[in-house]
């Protein structure tokens, strides 16, 4: 499975999400990482496309508005969170599954920038396309770059 509905605080679903994305960081480590300039929570961008997650994308196709996406760093990777109507979906991604993070111009607006994250799990490729202001895209890209450093390093 590639994504889970985590709207309802079901501990079994969270176990499945964290089994893939990695365990949460202990509370004190979250504070330490934030003080080092590596917060566990990312900025938000507009989610504009999910290639490779067709069922989740088809739910989004019916929407008349964009939905946000943000990430949470775990001990083994990241978890992407997005909302479709009133439901929240988690997409866990192992660190070793990440293939590419690419920033560039937006395909839909001259005033926005785009960020594309690609990962592969068991031969299945997924591309998460996001947009935001250039400064927000830069912040998100920096968040990923800083997070790729070892979380335990000083």
In a domain, 153, yes or no: no
- Can you tell me which residue has the tokens 């566990």? 40
* Containing structural domain, residue 67: 4-147
User: pTM score > 0.95 for this model?
Assistant: no
- pLDDT score, position 23: 96
Nearest alpha-carbon partner for 46 in 2, 112, 98: 112
Number of domains in the chain: 1
**pLDDT per residue over 93-121, tens digit each?**
999 999 999 999 988 888 899 999 999 99
In a domain, 37, yes or no: yes
Per-residue pLDDT, averaged over 27-45, amounts to: 91
In a domain, 52, yes or no: yes
In a domain, 154, yes or no: no
In a domain, 58, yes or no: yes
Q: What is the CATH number of the domain that holds 71?
A: 2.30.29.30
As a whole number of angstroms, the distance between CA 110 and CA 93 comes to 30
**pLDDT per residue over 52-92, tens digit each?**
999 998 888 887 778 899 999 999 999 999 999 889 999 99
- pLDDT score, position 149: 61
In a domain, 50, yes or no: yes
């Amino acid at each position: 499975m590639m994504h889970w509905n985590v709207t309802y605080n079901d501990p079994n679903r969270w176990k499945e999400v964290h089994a893939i994305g990695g365990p949460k960081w202990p509370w004190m480590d979250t504070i330490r990482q934030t003080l080092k300039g590596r917060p566990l929570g990312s900025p938000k961008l507009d989610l504009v496309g999910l290639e490779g997650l067709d069922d989740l994308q088809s739910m989004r196709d019916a929407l008349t508005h964009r939905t946000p996406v943000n990430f949470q760093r775990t001990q083994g990777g990241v978890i992407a969170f997005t909302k479709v109507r009133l439901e929240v979906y988690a997409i866990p991604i192992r660190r070793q599954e990440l293939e590419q993070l690419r920033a560039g111009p937006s395909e839909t607006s001259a005033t926005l920038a785009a960020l594309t994250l690609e990962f592969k799990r068991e031969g299945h490729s997924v591309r998460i396309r996001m947009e935001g202001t250039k400064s927000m895209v830069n912040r998100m890209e920096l968040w990923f770059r800083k997070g790729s450093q070892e979380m335990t390093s000083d």
